[in-house]
């Protein structure tokens, strides 16, 4: 099967769609609350695809492994991150390796916290479940089923930069895989 674009480009496309929803007006979401689940879904879709692309390209896992039942058929953001960390030799429940790799080249001050919240933060537990079951995409949510991160612009920009910097993420993961370490930090060789 021939594809028009790759996973990295798809991750960027979802981030750009989320950015377009808000535009330069973060109050748009407050004025149109029915858009919020779709907006949040776009951001999670981008992060999911970013993790998948980075994991596949760095050879931490295959596309089939990424789409397995263990990863929620490929929609479990936390489960995909767990698979990557496991393949890097990290400790179960410690998402530092994947979070650090994905935020290595991001210029947003609170990017690490944003990606942590999306991947495994307790406040996003229901949101991740709604996302992975596609309830967010169909706006089939109840009050309290999803969370947002303020400021919205930082959230969108962090997810967008995560997608834009996938080459860097892949380099970090590839080098980390070759030189496994229990360290939560790494040094790149350029």
Segment 162-171 shows an average pLDDT of 96
Nearest to residue 14, comparing CAs of 62, 71, 52? Answer: 52
Residue 84: pLDDT band (50, 70, 90) is: very high
pLDDT of 144 reads: 79
pLDDT in tens, 148-160: 999 999 999 999 9
Predicted local distance difference test score (pLDDT) of residue 27: 87
Least confident of 5-9, 83-87, 162-166: 5-9
Please check whether residue 163 is in contact with residue 15, taking contact to mean a CB–CB distance below 8 angstroms. yes
When comparing pLDDT for 141 and 53, which is higher? 53
pLDDT exceeds cutoff 70 at 3:
no
Tokens of 75: 């929609």
* Per-residue pLDDT tens over the stretch 47-67: 999 999 999 999 999 999 998
> What span, in angstroms and rounded, lies between the C-alpha atoms of 149 and 78?
17
Higher pLDDT, 24 or 120: 120
CA distances from 80 to 3, 74, 104 (A): 22, 7, 18
Q: Please check whether residue 81 is in contact with residue 98, taking contact to mean a CB–CB distance below 8 angstroms.
A: yes
DSSP letter at 146?
-
Mean pLDDT for the stretch of residues 94-120: 94
Between the alpha carbon of residue 112 and those of residues 36, 71, 87, 98, the distances in Å are 23, 22, 21, 10
pTM of the model: 0.91
What pLDDT is attached to residue 183? 56
pLDDT of residue 180: 60
Give the pLDDT band (50/70/90) at residue 185: low
Query: Which range has the worst mean pLDDT, 21-25, 94-98, 134-138, 179-183?
Result: 179-183
Question: Over the chain, what is the mean pLDDT?
Answer: 88
Distance between CA 138 and CA 37 in Å, rounded?
8
Instruction: Give the pLDDT score at 34.
Output: 86
Which residues, 6+ apart, have CB-to-CB distance to 69 below 8 Å? none
Q: Which residue has the higher pLDDT, 135 or 22?
A: 22
Task: Kindly indicate the confidence band of residue 182, based on its pLDDT and cuts at 50, 70 and 90.
Answer: low
Tokens of 101: 């790799």
Q: Where are the domains of the chain?
A: 7-178
């Amino acid at each position: 099967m021939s594809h028009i674009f790759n996973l990295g480009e798809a991750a960027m496309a979802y981030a750009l769609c989320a950015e377009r929803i808000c535009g330069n007006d973060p109050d748009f979401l407050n004025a149109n609350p029915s858009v919020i689940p779709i907006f949040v879904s776009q951001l999670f879709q981008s992060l999911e695809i970013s993790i998948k692309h980075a994991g596949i390209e760095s050879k931490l896992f295959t596309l089939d492994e990424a789409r397995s039942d263990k990863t929620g058929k490929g929609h479990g953001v936390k489960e995909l991150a767990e698979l990557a960390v496991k393949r890097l030799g990290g400790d179960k429940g410690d998402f530092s390796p994947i979070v650090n790799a994905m935020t290595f080249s991001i210029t947003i001050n609170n990017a690490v916290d944003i990606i942590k919240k999306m991947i495994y933060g307790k406040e996003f537990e229901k949101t991740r479940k709604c996302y992975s079951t596609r309830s967010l995409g169909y706006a089939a949510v109840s009050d309290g089923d999803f969370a947002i991160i303020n400021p919205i612009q930082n959230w969108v920009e962090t997810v967008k930069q995560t997608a834009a910097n996938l080459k860097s993420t892949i380099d970090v993961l590839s080098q980390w895989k070759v030189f496994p370490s229990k360290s939560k930090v790494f040094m790149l060789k350029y």
